[in-house]
Amino acid sequence: MNSSKDKVNSKLLNRMYCCLFAFLLLSSVSSLCSQAAAASQNVTLTLSYSTPDNYMPYIYLLNVTASAPITSPVKLYWTIDGNGPFENTTQMVNGFYERDFGCSNPGNWTLWLVWAGDEQYSYSQSNAISVVGDPGGQPFEVTSTDYTMYAVIVAIVAVVAIGLSFAYVRSKSKKK
C-alpha cells in the first residue's frame, strides 16, 4: 500500500516542481521583456548653435537638449570637408549639454552628437549642423595635454621654496 501512496505523492511532487519551474521561467521571460520594452523608449537629441562673439566668428556655442533628463557620457563627432570623423567624449547632465567649439581649420564642418543609450532609453543621434571654419586657421591637429610637465614644474618650485626657507631659518639662527 505504501508503494501506491508513494507513487501518488511522487507524481504530485513532480507536478509541483514542473509548475514551479514553469512559473520561474515565465517570470524570467516577462522581466526580460519588460526591461527590453523599457530600453526601447526613444530620446530625441536636438543640436543647435550660436556665435556668441562677433570678434571671434569661428567660435560656436553648441547646445544639445534631450527629450528626457539623461545624465550620461555622450560623443560629439565632427568632420572637416568630409574628413574624419573626429570625436570627443563628454558628459550630458539632466538632458543638457553646452560647450564652446572652435573651428580653427578652414572648410565646412559638420557636427553631431551620439548617445549610446542605457537600460531605460535606446541609442540616439542628434541632427547634424554645418558651420564654417576659420579660413586663416592652421591645419587641424588633435593634441592632448601632458600634465607631467606641470607636475615637474610644481615639484621643482616646491623643492626650491623649501630649500630657501631652510636657508633663511638657518641664517637667522646663526645671527643669534
**In the chain, what are the domain boundaries?**
1-40, 45-133
CA-based nearest residue to 47, from 120, 140, 115, 133: 115
**Topology of the domain covering 45-133:** Immunoglobulin-like (2.60.40)
Strand bridging mode 129-133 / 72-80: unpaired
* Ramachandran category for residue 84: left, alpha or beta (phi over 0 → left; psi -120 to 50 → alpha): left
Res. 144: pLDDT tops 70: no
pLDDT higher than 80, residue 162: yes
Q: What is the 3-state secondary structure (H, E, C) of 109-167?
A: EEEEEEECCCCCECCEECCCEEEEECCCCCCCCCCCCCCHHHHHHHHHHHHHHHHHHHH
Give the pLDDT of residue 7: 62
Q: Among 31-40, 46-55, 106-115, where is mean pLDDT lowest?
A: 31-40
Percent of the chain with pLDDT over 90: 23
Q: Is the pLDDT of residue 138 over 80?
A: no
Taking 80 as the threshold, does the pLDDT of residue 152 lie above it?
no
